[in-house]
Amino acid sequence: MVCLLEPNNCGEANLDVQFIMGVAQGAPTWFWVIDPNSQDPFLDWVIALAATKNPPLVHSISYGGIVTEEPLANVFRYNTEMCKFGLRGMTVFVASGDDGVANYGARADSSQCGFNPSFPATSPYVTAVGATQGPESGAPEVACSSATGGVITTGGGFSVNFPRPAYQDVVVSNYLKNGPNVPPTNLYNSTNRGYPDVALLGLNYEVYIDRFATAVSGTSASTPTFAGMITLINGLRLKAGKPPVGFLNPALYKIAATTKGVFRDVTSGENNCTAGGPCCQYGFTAAPGWDPLTGLGSVDFEALKNALLKY
């Protein structure tokens, strides 16, 4: 009903659905609707999904909240369910956020600058997806930032709740030791889970809303696109008699360490700015290898497909 009365209220949902279905054409696609009066839509969704027989194998979430504003018990319940989903063969992708390290509270209030991680992107059992820009206009690929004309700034940083998982210990430690302009580690939990894990282009996606084309940008664009890619790869794995990829992160980090050409290393950019708002004093700077802007880098679909079909 909300969409019928005001189509612009459905921009985020249109973006997700149109690009998941555009990339993974022909794949059965579900759209989950949560009561707008829900006290915790993330938790309501995982409870509903946990009770669903034969659920979809791939899930894309373009929404997020500031983790310190989430009830702690709900955060841990959500994370536990994510772990169970992985064991059931499901893969969950979550946008890393569009306001750098500060999160959306700083868009209109620079006093909110700081390190405010997003949730559920910081769950170690989801694959967090950042955004890049450049190739869409024939320029080199860099981390997406409002300071470089990217409309949004790719989110990233470190969890406040979950310790760093073993699958990313080497690459995150390397960034903290060798990365350029690493902010003082007393300002964030550097021993915790770092995010995002990967990135895709996130600038100037064209979607149709109420019959009219409009350009949108964000990690909420890169995330469903990657979800569509993994849907295609799952289809090929199932056809070959293999199980779905399920919890994807251990495979991504292993592939990054052993197979060249799967990830395009993005080594330029900062995420100290918000989406169209103020730029804060602190943020992270892109570096060779994993960094808390674009993760392992942007994804080459053909190379990732070949790697995961062998995995």
Q: Which residues are catalytic?
A: 12, 16, 220
> Sign of the C-alpha dihedral, residues 204, 1, 50, 44?
positive
Q: Could you give the CA distance from residue 267 to residue 141 in angstroms, rounded to a whole number?
A: 9
Cβ neighbours of residue 73 closer than 8 Å, sequence gap 6 or more: none
Residues 279 and 244 sit within 8 Å (Cβ to Cβ)? no
Residue 104, SS3 per DSSP: helix
Cβ-Cβ contacts under 8 Å for 110 (sequence gap 6 or more): 277, 278, 280
What torsion, rounded to 10 degrees, do the Cα atoms 297, 302, 303, 308 define?
A: 100
Plot region of 105 (φ>0 → left; ψ -120 to 50 → alpha; else → beta) = alpha
Closest CA to 176 of 165, 198, 192, 163: 192
